[in-house]
Structure 1
């Protein structure tokens, strides 16, 4: 049974970054959509080996196959592309992406990340060694992901010309 209705399972959503250790210990599993997992019986920090073994233990306990769970996960578009950009234009590209991010959900933690829809985004990180920009794109569908790529590479080309 993988329909989301598990007995004795309570899901909570929200930020966990401001929790104190005593609050985190009240949960058995702490997970993020980014793939970070922590089982509080072991540690409050994510530990990939322990988590992998714990997931295998849960699969065995509930008589599930990983392939069954994977089939239930909706596919999404994700790509990484390098786009040529002269070293002298990288600052301008950062500025243009930041301007583009105004009035949109965005983040400037790892470069400039702009959400174009609830689950669709582009992250631009200037390459520190090569004359290029690193673009990471995630989208619900291939069509929307390719549209984001096309839209932003056209903008990059236009911004580079000016």
Structure 2
């Protein structure tokens, strides 16, 4: 049984703030920052994963961590999948082995996934899945996008509500 390090959004947000990250516009940029902080590369690979099946896979190799994300997902969904798998990496969650799935995954930088630990999760009601989802949302809240209009209406509503 996994004991949650981040049992609620408040602890997730506090953790994200404690990292003192530079602004990032995508989950991919966040992985680059986390790679530097951890001194262990996190590589993101878009791959056409079999459907039905997981939308994201964490492969813990000897020299790096690899997040394989479903290339058929939309951009925002891919970002969320990457954030979710990144949360699993940071929390060091265990996964389950799905024998026979490995041949479906790419050879990454000339290094096969053979011998690596593949972290799949198929049960989404577990403590580790809930924790990864909460942490992914906390990271997503910090995403910046210079192309978006400022959300002025939120401040206006707060002002007139007296909060």
Of structures 1 and 2, the one with the larger relative CO (CA 8 A, separation 6+) is 2
Same fold, TM-score > 0.5, yes or no: no
Q: Which has the higher strand share?
A: 1
Name the structure with the higher helix share: 2
TM-score, normalized by length of structure 1?
Answer: 0.28
